[in-house]
Copies of this chain bind each other. A is one copy, B any other.
Amino acid sequence: MTVEIICVGTELLLGNIVNTNAAFLAEKCAALGLSSYFQVVVGDNRERLVQTIRTAMERADIVLLSGGLGPTGDDLTKEAAAEAFGRRLVEDETSRRQIEAYFAQRGITPTENNWKQALIPEGAKAIPNRNGTAPGIIMEENGKYAILLPGPPGELKPMFTDSVVPYLRTLEDEVIESVTVKVVDIGESRAETMVSDLMENQSNPTIAPYAKTGEVHFRITARAAGSKEAQELIAPVAEELKNRFGSHIYTMEEDVTLEKAVADLLAEKKWTIATAESCTGGLLAARLVNVPGVSEVFHAGFITYADEAKQNLIGVKEETLKQYGAVSSKTAEEMAVGAAKAAGADAAVSITGIAGPDGGTKDKPVGLVYIGCYVDGKVRVEEYHFTGSRLKIRESVVAAALVLLRNSIIAQ
């Protein structure tokens, strides 16, 4: 089956916000095995909305709409969908009661506008919204489906994952399952070349590459009559990727991030980690703190942005800074050892470099970074050359630091 994604909202046309809903929905649909050929963004205009929905229904089986389910005069998605399907709007009792409860719980009196949200196209099914007042809506006509979702990502994502994905699975006779193999420390081009024969020849399962900062993900997707059969198709492909990528694979679980994988490795070893950052300014520690429960392995971090801070907080020697400079292998080494000591941690990662746009010289250009890793009493420092904007360089450095840390732990 094919799906078309329509995101409604003038704020998207004005570039006020980035369309994260489209990417979220598109990725979920791809994982469900649905093909998609178009995405459209349209404003809060009834006529254009109706036209856009009709065009989508001509060329796709499923139309997903996000946005425009609010209580204001600009919220027109339900009205437009009802018109495109030739139906009236009627009040859905469950939705009405849910809206009453939502406002009662917050001690707010709803306005007349808010009751608008309890209206749904006749014959449609309302999907409960646990994070807002607008119910989602599913409509079906002659094998065509329209699914209306609230615009705010905090409402759309849980509703889609909890209610719509199970519903979409029922539309297909087949089951679609995926496993994502996450690879680090191999460049995107080379990683794809290493499995290009598999990607070209596979039709079920398929293998799709996804480039991330410092990582490449390969999603293996299989369709079969049932879950067991789908997993049986996936398993040998996953095994072959394991053979080819070996320890470059840090997880095959969808929800495990690189920082989570690293935190888990540290927890296994019962090691605590400290961080000492200069140009990344806290982004490495912040990535570790993305992991709920990281407090088991991460207690303290330092941002030693100035030379004095490197000396005073984590014991980098004045002579080292004088002789080699803040951005040097020796400084990175002393930062790592010093941070572990100052924090009373078993291990530490240090970062010192030039993120740009200014600060580069002929000898030490923008993008030059040293990352140090102190693990199990041994220090290792690597030199890197990154390109891009100040922020892009910093993000690339953080990814490289997590990879170096992982490599250092598994090498023990």
Chain A interface (Cβ within 8 Å of chain B)? 12-20, 22-30, 36-43, 45, 48, 52, 154, 208, 210-211, 275, 277, 279-286, 288-290, 292-295, 298-306, 308-309, 312-313, 342-344, 355-359, 388-392, 394
Contacts and interface: CB of A to CB of B under 8 A. Distances in A.
Q: Which of the listed residues A39, A48, A277, A389 has the most CB atoms from chain B within 10 Å of its own CB?
A: A39
A14 to B, nearest CB: 5
A295 B17 CA distance: 31
Contacts of A45: 37
A24 to B, nearest CB: 7
B299 A285 contact: no
Contact of A303 (B26, B303, B394): B303
A80 to B, nearest CB: 14
A286 B290 contact: no
Q: Which of the listed residues A36, A281, A301 has the most CB atoms from chain B within 10 Å of its own CB?
A: A281
B38 A41 contact: yes
A282 B305 contact: no
Given A15-B26, A27-B14, A300 B304 contact: yes
A14 B40 CA distance: 14
A37 B26 contact: no
A290 B391 contact: yes
Number of chain copies forming the complex:
2
Given A16-B211, A295-B305, 16 more contacts: A13-B37, A14-B30, A15-B22, A17-B23, A18-B20, A40-B40, A154-B388, A282-B301, A286-B286, A286-B394, A292-B359, A293-B358, A300-B302, A301-B302, A308-B344, A309-B343
A-side binding surface: helix, strand, loop or mixed?
mixed
Contacts of A24: 15
Contact of A27 (B16, B280, B392): B16
13 contacts: A15-B24, A15-B29, A16-B208, A19-B19, A37-B43, A281-B282, A281-B301, A282-B289, A285-B305, A292-B390, A299-B306, A299-B308, A300-B303
A392 to B, nearest CB: 8
A13 B154 CA distance: 22
B15 A30 contact: yes
B303 A301 contact: yes
A28 to B, nearest CB: 7
Contacts of A313: 300, 342-343
A43 B3 CA distance: 13
A397 to B, nearest CB: 12
Given A14-B27, A286-B281, A293-B358, A275 B300 contact: no
A207 to B, nearest CB: 13
Nearest to A24: B15
A282 B285 contact: yes
A244 B16 CA distance: 23
Contacts of A17: 23
B30 A25 contact: no
Contact of A284 (B18, B282, B389): B282
Contacts of A210: 16
B286 A283 contact: yes
Nearest to A41: B39
